[in-house]
Amino acid sequence: MTIYRTDGKPYCPTGSLQQFDDGLPERSLFDLYDEETIRLGGSPLFYYELFIDANNIDPLYVESRAKIYSQNPIQLWCVYEPIPSQNMQTAFGIDSPDEMTFDLNYRAVLRDLGHPPKIGSRVKTPFLNEDWVIIERKLGEFKLYNALRLQLICQRFQEDTVSGSSVGKTENADFKIV
């Protein structure tokens, strides 16, 4: 049995989550404000999608040596603080344990990519021309029961004979970055 209000609509208690509608203008306002703030104060980030052939996965290590990265980057906007390189000499050679966190607007990323970024994909920062590999992604800030920020935690990409050299030459881009 459903309880109705005097205007004929179903009754919902005030403590339920049904009062938070996905189409609230306040949510859109927070998203637009955050996206505009990141575009004004942040920097571009070039995202290279990872493609893996499912037939080529090693059963022991559960990884593929035939990784293919997209050659056409998708430009996203992020906020991050560049860190100095920390290349350390170990018994096995130079190690680069650098980790970087990129903050992006979650709705803008979903709009531009169509899905959350894949773990293992690469990103390139045009500021210092560095390559990074996404190792973790998580949702950051929340407003009105809505995810506002997406955080990409990345490690510096170390080239080897399998993965090849840097993807995408963005030094001489044929478009203006505003």
Say if residue 10's pLDDT is above 70. Answer: yes
Closest CA to 157 of 85, 90, 80, 89: 85
- CA 12 from chain centre, in angstroms, equals 37
pTM of the shown model: 0.69
Predicted local distance difference test score (pLDDT) of residue 18 = 52
**Residues in the chain, how many?**
178
Identify the burial level of 76 via C-beta atoms within 10 angstroms of its C-beta, where 0-12 means exposed, 13-18 middle and 19 or more buried: buried
Q: What is the pLDDT of residues 28-87, one digit of tens each?
A: 777 788 888 889 988 999 999 888 766 777 777 666 666 778 888 899 999 988 877 666
